[in-house]
Amino acid sequence: MRISLFTVSLEVGGAERVLVTLANRFAALGHTVQVVLMKPQGELRKELCPEVRIVDLNTYRAVRTILPLARYLRRERPDALLSTLSQPNLVAIVARRLARVPTRVVVREANTPTREFGAAVKPKDRIVPALIARMYRQADAIVAVSRGVQHDLLRLTGLPESRIPCIYNPVITERLLRLRDEPLQHPWFEAGAPPVVLAVGRLTPQKDYPTLLRAFAQVRQSHPARLLILGEGELHADLWRLVQALGLTDAVAMPGYEPNPFAYMRRARVFVLSSRYEGLPNALIQAMACGCPVVSTDCPSGPREILDGGRYGALVPVGDVDALADAIVRGLEGQLPTAPDEWLQQFEERHIVGQYLRVLEG
Q: Is the pLDDT of residue 348 over 90?
A: yes
Residues 16-44: pLDDT tens digits? 999 999 999 999 999 999 999 999 989 99
What is the percent of the chain with per-residue pLDDT over 70, rounded to a whole number? Answer: 99
Nearest to 304, CA basis, from 122, 148, 133: 148
Summarised one tens digit per residue, pLDDT across range 79-109 is: 999 999 999 999 999 999 999 999 999 999 9
Q: Is the pLDDT of residue 125 over 90?
A: no
Per-residue pLDDT of 249-271, as tens digits, reads: 999 999 999 999 999 999 999 99
User: What does the pLDDT look like over 301-326, one tens digit per residue?
Assistant: 999 999 999 999 999 999 999 999 99
pLDDT on residue 25: 97
Domains 2-167 and 174-345 share a fold: yes
Global confidence as pTM? 0.91
pLDDT at 121: 61
Percent residues over pLDDT 90 in the chain: 93
Average pLDDT, the chain: 95
pLDDT tier at 129 (50, 70, 90 boundaries)? confident
pLDDT for residue 361:
96
- CATH architecture of structural domain 2-167: 3-Layer(aba) Sandwich (3.40)
Closest CA to 136 of 116, 122, 156: 156
Q: Report the pLDDT averaged over residues 338-348.
A: 96
pLDDT band at 119 (very low <50, low <70, confident <90, very high): low
> What pLDDT shows up at residue 116?
79
Cα R_g (the chain), whole angstroms? 21
- pLDDT score of 44: 94
In Å, how far from its chain's centre is CA 292?
18
Q: At what angle do helices 349-361 and 14-28 cross, to 10 degrees?
A: 80
Whether the predicted pLDDT of 159 surpasses 70? yes
User: Which residue blocks in the chain are alpha helix, DSSP H?
Assistant: 14-28, 62-76, 86-99, 113-118, 123-126, 128-135, 147-157, 174-179, 209-219, 236-245, 262-267, 282-289, 303-306, 321-332, 341-344, 349-361
Any residues with CB less than 8 A from the CB of 271 and at least 6 apart, and which? 197, 198, 199, 200, 265, 283, 284, 287, 292, 293, 294, 295
pLDDT of residue 127: 85
pLDDT confidence of residue 55 = 98
> Which band of pLDDT confidence, cut at 50, 70 and 90, is reported for residue 114?
confident
Euclidean distance between the first and final Cα of the chain, in Å? 12
pLDDT digits (tens, 9 = 90+) for 185-205: 999 999 999 999 999 999 999
pLDDT at 200: 98
pLDDT higher than threshold 80 for residue 225 = yes
Please report the pLDDT score of residue 113 as a whole number.
Answer: 87
Rounded to the nearest 5°, which phi and psi values hold at 190?
A: -75, 160
Q: What is the mean pLDDT of residues 144-169?
A: 95
Domain boundaries 174-345, corresponding CATH code: 3.40.50.2000
N residues, the chain: 362
Q: Where are the domains of the chain?
A: 2-167, 174-345
Q: How confident is the model at residue 128 (pLDDT cuts 50, 70, 90)?
A: confident
